Amino acid sequence: MSSLNNALVGAVVSTLLTLSVLLSAGHALAFDRVENRLVQQLRVDDIASVMNHGPRLIIMWSLDCPACFEELDTIAKLLAKQPNLAISLVSTDDDPTRHEEINEVYNDPAFSSIPRWVYAPNQAKQLQHAIDSTWQGELPRSYYVDEKGKRHGHSGLLNEKQLKMIISLIE
Amino acid sequence: MTQLMKNICFALCMCLLAQAPTALASDHSKHKASSQMPSSACTAGMMACAKTISSVVDKHGRIWSTWSHRQHLYLNYSDDVGQSYSTPMRVNQVAEKISTRGENRPKIGADEHGNIYLSWVTPLSKRFTANVRFSYFSISKKQFSVPVTINNDNLLTGHSFNEMVVTQAGDVYIAWLDGRAKVAAAKQGIRLRSSEIYLAHANFEQGKNVFDNNYLAKGTCVCCRLAMGLDNRELPMLMWRHVFGDNYRDHGFLTMKNQAQANPMQRVSFENWQVNGCPHQGPSIVKGGDDRVHMSWFNNADDASGLFYGYSDDNGRSMSNTYHFATKANNPEHPFLSRGAASAQSGGMIQLVWREYNGKAFVIKYLKSIRGDNWESERVVATAQQGVDYPYILQHPSGSYLHWHVVGEPLALIKL
């Protein structure tokens, strides 16, 4: 009886592990489908192509940062008037369970014309360091990428006046 | 993966979970700590899969740990410093969201009887809104109380970054960043960009079973944890990142007049980091064996960036010289202070751990000092490539232990 129980438990665990692997793969596929439409994952190897070409304004933000949403609201307002501004958004939330929530933010029609990125899973510190080893992770963080591809960083909320000034550099 | 398969997998998880007791497990049911766990094998209540783990040592040296998985909080214990663990017990029987990222994570405390107190934050429907929740595990009844909401304003607003301390006599203090003033201000057309600190108190051993809510301070940064400890009167003391003047994110500190009323806030850091944003890095405090309060914090002013230490012998009215012990170069973050339990020196051994990232690996560093006056050379106590939680220190009868967690691996307890 004991061995039968063990065998049953073993079978259940084995099935569970198999299903877990499949489930995990299924999640990846599901996220890929969403990402293809809305948001791409930023990996360390992508940084040069995403962040080294200017003039461009890159806004780093997170779901945990109230000031970031103030800045995103202002950017949405500016994009509504000028949809083709050279602005990119990068979410620093590297927890894949939050990607759906990020997609909801990125679903704002105002952002439909600009590149939108999210940190690849479990890569927050690696990406932060690779983007800017002098940046300590505070948000919002903005980079003005000049015509030579040099990034100029700023920490803290940019108000509408400041954003318009930067936009005058990237138009 | 179809929804049907997900449902089957979920059902199997729940089936296995149902075999776990909801009351305290016997010593015979202990689980051996396993080696690294593939993420695909994570099932409900599996400690190794937790993003963050919080632990406390009770009077008898039992290490209790809590973590969340799929909207449930779990609790287990180890009587052999992490060599083996009891079967996890599920705290909340009704699933609810539980914040478990970074600094906003479940908290755990113990009283002299071995009762275990748990507090966590449950996000609500609207962004940046949440409630502070609480349950305790009665060691005599071997059961959890039904979780309750601590904040008593019944408002859909922010209540987060909870901290909890528990005295040996069972006084439970929970502090958090509170947004009720924002709601009141909004009704008058004013937009508040800072939070308030509230403190709740109860004592279940003495029949005070309902938490009161008391306002302590206003003008805090909205996105950093509080640091809370007990002073020599067994009353709470708090330190937090405050907003001074035009967005200078330095630190405030206060002690309590009594269980409900605070003394005025004292400013205790002066790096003058001006930023209108989220540092996401709160401070750490611990009392010495004397009246000295030890403090550590992160700051990022142009001419003063990295980790800092200082102490006060007069409850924050004046501060010692600042010790800038970790500079910006290696991305130092999240200092944690602790006082070694066994020390012949008056005031005790003060210990510090923090995390750095050097571009290739996470490094946990350690410093110690007698009373905070002179510090020994730092040493590296752990490294990992990725998935590293913040470091803490547990004071156990057998010594001081680094408490850190690499996702997918067993909780590491490394003797310092």
Shortest distance, CA A120 to any CA of chain B (angstroms): 13
Determine the Cα–Cα distance for residues B414 and B93; give it in Å rounded to an integer.
33
* Residue B328 contacts residue B300 (beta carbons within 8 Å): yes
Beta bridge partners of B307: B298, B326
What is the structure's pLDDT at A25?
A: 36
Percent of chain B with pLDDT over 70: 89
How far is Cα B65 from Cα B181, in angstroms, rounded to an integer?
34
Q: Is the pLDDT of residue B16 over 70?
A: no
Q: Quick check: B132 and B160 in contact, CB under 8 A?
A: yes
Least confident of A128-132, B73-77, B144-148, B347-351: B347-351
- Res. B329: pLDDT tops 70: yes
B277: nearest CA in chain A? A156
Confidence of residue B228 (pLDDT cuts 50, 70, 90): very high
pLDDT band for B6, please (50, 70, 90 cuts): very low
Tokens for B352, please give them: 């510090």
Amino acid at A67: A
**Number of continuous H segments (helices) and E segments (strands) in chain B:** 2, 31
Residue A38 has pLDDT above 90, yes or no: no
Calpha distance B397→B81 (Å, rounded): 10
Structure confidence at residue A4 (pLDDT): 33
Element (H, E) at A2: helix A2-37
Identify the pLDDT of residue B42: 82
Q: pTM score, two decimals?
A: 0.87
ipTM metric: 0.87
Chain A residues within 8 A of B99 when measuring between CB atoms: none
Residue given tokens 């970054």 in the structure block:
B161
Under an 8 A CB cutoff, do A69 and B39 touch?
A: no
Which string of DSSP letters, residue by residue, matches B136-183?
EEETTTTEEPPPEE---S--SS-EEEEEEEE-TT--EEEEEEE-HHHH
Question: For the segment B272-320, what is each residue's pLDDT rounded down to a tens digit?
Answer: 999 999 999 999 999 998 889 999 999 999 999 999 999 999 999 999 9
If contacts are CB pairs under 8 Å, which of residues 100-159 in chain A contact chain B? 122-123, 125-126, 128-130, 133-134, 136-141, 155-157
Mean pLDDT, rounded, of chain A = 82
In tens, the pLDDT along A48-86 reads 999 999 999 999 999 999 999 999 999 999 999 999 999
Place B405 in a pLDDT band, splitting at 50, 70 and 90.
very high
pLDDT for position A89: 97
The radius of gyration computed from the CA coordinates of chain B, to the nearest angstrom, equals: 21
| pLDDT at B68 exceeding the cut of 80 | yes
Q: Is the dihedral of CA B398, B402, B408, B409 positive or negative?
A: negative
Structure confidence at residue B39 (pLDDT) = 57
Question: A48 — phi, psi (to 5°)?
Answer: -60, -45
Query: B22: buried, middle or exposed (CB in 10 Å: 19+, 13-18, 0-12)?
Result: middle
Who's near A8: CB < 8 A, 6+ residues apart? none
The long-range contacts involving A23-26, CB below 8 angstroms and separated by at least 24 positions, are: A23/B1, A23/B5, A23/B6, A23/B9, A24/B39, A24/B40, A25/B1, A26/B1, A26/B2, A26/B5, A26/B6
Look at B280 and A95 and tell me if their CB atoms are within 8 Å: no
- Nearest CA among B62, B66, B31 for reference residue B51: B66
Burial of B11 (0-12, 13-18, 19+ CB in 10 A): exposed
The number of beta carbons lying within 10 Å of the beta carbon of residue B335 is 28
The span from the CA of A50 to the CA of B72, in Å, is 39
Pairing outcome for strands A116-119 and A40-42: parallel
A53 to chain B, any CB pair closer than 8 A? The answer is no
Pairwise CA distance, residues B240 & B181, whole Å? 18
Average pLDDT of chain B, as a whole number? 89
Which has the minimum average pLDDT: A155-164, B35-44, B163-172, B207-216?
B35-44
What is the model's pLDDT at position B225? 86
The lowest-confidence range among A5-19, B250-264, B386-400 is: A5-19
Tokens of A66: 């109230």
How many angstroms separate the most distant Cα atoms in chain A? 78
CA B132, CA B121: separation in Å to the nearest integer?
5
Tell me how close the Cα of A154 comes to any Cα of chain B, in angstroms.
10
Instruction: Name the residue among A24, A30, A69 with its Cβ closest to that of B40.
Output: A24
What is the average pLDDT across B75-96?
97
Task: Please indicate whether residue B26 or residue B67 has the higher confidence score (pLDDT).
Answer: B67
Alpha-carbon distance of B276 to A121, in angstroms, equals 27
CB contact under 8 A, A66 and B223: yes
Is residue A11 very low, low, confident or very high in pLDDT (cuts 50, 70, 90)? very low
Q: Where are the beta strands (DSSP E) in B208-261?
A: 214-220, 227-230, 236-241, 251-255
Q: Is B315 left (phi over 0), alpha (psi -120 to 50) or beta?
A: left
Residue B384's CB is within 10 A of a number of other CB atoms, namely 18
Contact B277 A156 (CB under 8 A): yes
Residues B21-33: pLDDT tens digits?
333 333 333 444 4
- Give me the mean pLDDT over the B71-83 stretch: 97
CB contact under 8 A, B12 and A12: yes
Which residue in A has a C-alpha nearest to residue B17's C-alpha?
A13
Closest of B324, B337, B326, B358 to residue B293, by C-alpha: B337
Cβ distance B101 to B51 under 8 Å? yes
Quick one: pLDDT at residue B40? 63
What are the distances in angstroms from CA A148 to CA A42, A52, A113?
Answer: 22, 8, 24
What is the C-alpha end-to-end distance of chain B, expressed in Å? 46
Chain B residue set in contact with A, beta carbons under 8 Å: 1-2, 5-6, 8-9, 12-13, 15-16, 39-43, 51, 101-102, 104, 127-128, 193, 222-223, 247, 274-281, 298, 300, 305, 328, 331, 333, 357, 359, 362, 386-387, 407
Say whether pLDDT at B343 is over 80: no
Count of CB pairs separated by less than 8 Å, A with B: 117
Q: Does A10 touch chain B (CB under 8 A)?
A: no
As a whole number of angstroms, the distance between CA B379 and CA B414 comes to 13
* Neighbouring-strand partners of residue A58: A88, A143
Instruction: Answer whether A166's CB lies under 8 Å from A158's CB.
Output: yes
Strand order in the sheet with B412-415: B392-396, B399-404, B412-415
Say whether A19 and B12 touch across the interface (CB within 8 A): yes
Residue percentage of chain A with pLDDT more than 70: 78
Crossing angle for the helix pair B3-18 and A2-37, to the nearest 10 degrees: 140
Q: What is the DSSP letter of B139?
A: T
SS3 state at B315 = coil
> Is A149 strand, coil or helix?
coil
Q: Residue B271: its chain A contacts at CB < 8 A? A: none
The tokens of B316 are what? 């924050």
Measured CA to CA, the distance from residue A47 to residue B158 in angstroms comes to 35
What pLDDT does residue B9 have? 35
- B240, B213 Cβ separation under 8 angstroms: no
The beta strand positions in A93-132, using DSSP E, are 116-119
Instruction: Give pLDDT, residue B345.
Output: 54
- pLDDT grade, residue B224 (50/70/90)? confident
For B375-385, what is each residue's pLDDT tens digit? 999 999 999 98
Residue B402 contacts residue B413 (beta carbons within 8 Å):
yes
Contact B331 A133 (CB under 8 A): yes
Instruction: Give the mean pLDDT of A117-139.
Output: 95
DSSP letters spanning B90-102: ES-SS------BT
Cβ of A13 within 8 Å of Cβ of B16? The answer is yes
